[in-house]
Structure 1
Amino acid sequence: MARGEGSGKFVSQSKFGWGFFGTELRRRREAAELTQQELGRRVFCSGAYIGQFETGIRKPQPDIAARIDAELGTDGYFARMCEELINNSPYASCFVEAAYLEGLAVTIREYAPTFMPGVLQTAAYARAVFLGFHPFVQEDALKSWVDARLERARILDRSTDPLFWAVLDEGVIRRRVGGTAVMHEQLMHVISLVRKRRIGVQVLPYEAGVPALGGMVSFMTFDDSPPVVYEEGHQSGSLLDDPVRVAQSERSYGLVRSAALSPEASLFLIESAAREYADDH
């Protein structure tokens, strides 16, 4: 995210986890003699969602956890556990589930209109982004945000999945976030990942005109779950899994990719920009 990943500090690790949440949910549901479909119907979600909560693939929102408590007669047990797990996350509440799903995705495709995607950011670049949004933040809070962002980037340490593809607006490589030295390091990091064939990158040039997507968007697919789209605003984020809306966003992303430079031309442009930053520095 372009702003602070969380509340400004890491909190102590919860004694619970989403796996424990799912195990308890299954145990309490079966004790109530309800199927996943029956419980889902009562709490206004699908039975498939209940199954994904129970296996830890998805995280329920607090309102769903509260409805589960009401149906199972668990006196706020799941709502409290959900709240603790969310509060103990280093990420902003609107990004908690999206960050979790990044670690499960087999493909991630992003459109970045303003800043480098979070999982591609260097420590210095991430620090500069956070300081831009929070110029008076305390150093310990700033460090925790940067650490959380770098932790997300560890998904790229894996040799295969996720397949990561990013379309960067040209402004992302032209905007001097943190100064010339920081930008040179950041672009060289992206170039290295491309050369290692770990990621794919395209640049949407200025002359392409108005993009088909108006903000940061991330598309994630999974082996055994439907795809989702995460859309981010200035101080908000939405995780979408409605098939119609996902398909609409997919079409818009396709238009952005078709207007972008080829991977080869994009790499050449990024390398040229990196050389310019090195010369200026």
Structure 2
Amino acid sequence: MPGNRHTSVRSRQIANELRRYREKAGLSCTEAGAKLGVSGSKISRIETGVSGLQIEDVAALLGLYHVPDAERHTLVELAKSADQKGWWERQTGLPQNWKNLMEFEAKASRIQNFENMFVPGLLQTAEYSRAILRAIDDTLSEDELESLIATRMARQIVLTRSQAPQFLAVIDENALRRTIGGSGVMKRQLQHLLTIADTRNVVLRVVPTSAGVYVGLQGPFLLLEFQDEPDIVYVENHYTMLFLEEEQDLASYRMGLRNILGVALAPGATAELIKSVVGEA
């Protein structure tokens, strides 16, 4: 069922959480509705963003699903400002934050990602991802590290499903030449890029170092486009993650992407450059 083109990121995230809790409780929409004296279609409309969120409905559903008090309080408070634009969350646990992004990626019809430091997360190998995560936080236990890697690998499934989104990845050449995890890890990562670039829904382009100074040096971003919901820009740094949805923000990042593509190599030339870097590894 199509979503609502005017639904905010907050509302969409609450809807995603409500669906997740219902499924965890083992209830269908019809069963959940029956327990609350409403139709199953109403539950479905809430979860797909067709219906606006009412605080009373959110609280009732969270109670029905036996959601812990702390989580229930957080979502109810979020529901009070559900119509406000924009969303940011401080980085306190990567799996939780990635889950938010993965929910939106799963619904997107097109994903456009620019990276100037690393290979895009959707295209990383497990060993490359491990090297980054370990370097970023050397306090992680082995179990925690494995959980993070598994989450990142699970995120990539979105590109291989039957209704996969179109994915454009634009990478700064320096990210390809930065040795992460050793020469062997890096070489296999680059070979993986060459393999996945042949996928029908993936386009890979590289901005060569010869481009000099360009707008992409300001930082990475992810533009997610939807058929029936508002588009979103995702930006992440050391301490925060941001979902931007104001039209002026979207227009700014779209313009930035156009400027970046203006200095990027075409797909064929990109493949040749990656092959040359592999040969040097």
**TM-score, scaled to structure 1:** 0.71
SS in structure 2 of the partner of residue 114 of structure 1: coil
1:272 is displaced (CA, Å) by 1.0
Corresponding residue number in structure 2 for 1:275? 279
Corresponding residue number in structure 2 for 1:223? 227
Corresponding residue number in structure 1 for 2:47? 55
Aligned counterpart in structure 2 of residue 68 of structure 1, from 55, 58, 66 = 55
Q: Which stretch shifts more, 188-197 or 246-255?
A: 188-197
5 Å matches for 1:87-126?
91-126=94-129
> Aligned equivalents of 1:253 and 1:17: distance in 2?
33
Corresponding residue number in structure 1 for 2:214? 211
Is the 1:226–1:241 Cα contact (8 Å) retained in structure 2?
yes
Is the 2:18–2:47 Cα contact (8 Å) retained in structure 1?
no
Aligned counterpart in structure 1 of residue 248 of structure 2, from 244, 249, 257 = 244
Is the 1:231–1:239 Cα contact (8 Å) retained in structure 2?
yes
Is the 1:19–1:55 Cα contact (8 Å) retained in structure 2?
no
1:197 is displaced (CA, Å) by 3.2
1:231 is displaced (CA, Å) by 0.9
Task: Please tell me the residue identity of whatever aligns with 2:275.
Answer: E
Corresponding residue number in structure 1 for 2:145? 142
SS in structure 1 of the partner of residue 206 of structure 2: strand
The percentage of counterpart residues that share the same residue type is 27
- Name the CA shift for 1:196/1:17 in 2 (closer, same or farther; >3 Å): closer
Corresponding residue number in structure 2 for 1:175? 178
- Name the CA shift for 1:118/1:97 in 2 (closer, same or farther; >3 Å): same
Is the 1:215–1:232 Cα contact (8 Å) retained in structure 2?
no
**TM-score, scaled to structure 2:** 0.71
Deviation string, structure 1 residues 145-166 (Cα, Å, up to 9, x no partner): 0000000011122245211111
Q: Which stretch shifts more, 228-237 or 94-103?
A: 94-103
1:135 is displaced (CA, Å) by 2.0
SS in structure 2 of the partner of residue 226 of structure 1: coil
Deviation string, structure 1 residues 155-210 (Cα, Å, up to 9, x no partner): 12224521111100111100000011101111111100112334111111122123
> Aligned equivalents of 2:208 and 2:148: distance in 1?
30
> Aligned equivalents of 2:111 and 2:58: distance in 1?
36
SS in structure 1 of the partner of residue 215 of structure 2: coil
Task: Please tell me the residue identity of whatever aligns with 1:104.
Answer: K
Is the 2:114–2:170 Cα contact (8 Å) retained in structure 1?
yes
Is the 2:224–2:232 Cα contact (8 Å) retained in structure 1?
yes
SS in structure 2 of the partner of residue 103 of structure 1: helix
> Aligned equivalents of 2:59 and 2:49: distance in 1?
24
Corresponding residue number in structure 2 for 1:40? none
> Aligned equivalents of 2:185 and 2:74: distance in 1?
37
Is the 1:202–1:261 Cα contact (8 Å) retained in structure 2?
yes
Is the 1:19–1:56 Cα contact (8 Å) retained in structure 2?
no
Deviation string, structure 1 residues 103-146 (Cα, Å, up to 9, x no partner): 11111000011111111111100000101111232111110000
- Name the CA shift for 1:221/1:57 in 2 (closer, same or farther; >3 Å): farther
Calculate the aligned-residue CA RMSD, in Å: 3.7
Deviation string, structure 1 residues 5-64 (Cα, Å, up to 9, x no partner): xxxxxxxxx99715669969x969x989xxx9xxxxxxxxxxxxx997x13469x9xxxx
> Aligned equivalents of 1:180 and 1:225: distance in 2?
42
SS in structure 2 of the partner of residue 161 of structure 1: coil
Note if 1:151 corresponds to 2:154. Answer: yes
- Name the CA shift for 1:188/1:159 in 2 (closer, same or farther; >3 Å): farther
SS in structure 2 of the partner of residue 97 of structure 1: helix
1:72 is displaced (CA, Å) by 7.4
Task: Please tell me the residue identity of whatever aligns with 2:252.
Answer: Q
Corresponding residue number in structure 1 for 2:71? 80
Deviation string, structure 1 residues 242-277 (Cα, Å, up to 9, x no partner): 122111111111101111111111111111111222
